[in-house]
Amino acid sequence: MSMIDPMSNAPEDPLEPGEVEPSLVTYTHVIYALHAASLLVGIVGAASIVGAFLFGIPSILAVILNYVWRDDVRGTWLESHFRWQIRTFWFAFAWAAAGALVMATVVLFFVALGIWFGVAIWVIYRVLRGWLNLREGRSVPA
């Protein structure tokens, strides 16, 4: 049995390498749930999937939480999930903006709709794949 120095600031029960605080896993699930809620609003509501994902309060809150807790997951397997979630939001935003620019011309209206449809499918895929990997305790690809 080892003695613990009472003057030390080290935690009494340090995490093993690769382990993360269970609360951070819970936060990551909450962030995926917020993104999924926005997608669901877009699927069943009057909003488009992409519009609900980018401008819905749940997704905006999710991205804010990603940035707030990003330092807490740095160096853990959850860091890949935070990077995945942040990139999903911002790449979807960039593609949606590109679709809006294309839509500005009448000739390319259907191309813009195709871009937005593609972005919607891509966002749904990334939320599902990321969340499933999180549930299995795996990181996501860069």
Q: How many CB atoms lie within 10 A of CB 19?
A: 10
Between residues 45 and 84, the one the model is more confident about: 84
Give the DSSP per-residue string, 91-121.
HHHHHHHHHHHHHTSGGGHHHHHHHHHHHHH
Confidence of residue 130 (pLDDT cuts 50, 70, 90): very high
> Is the model's pLDDT at 7 over the cut of 80?
no
Q: 3-class SS at 19?
A: coil
Average pLDDT over residues 125-130: 95
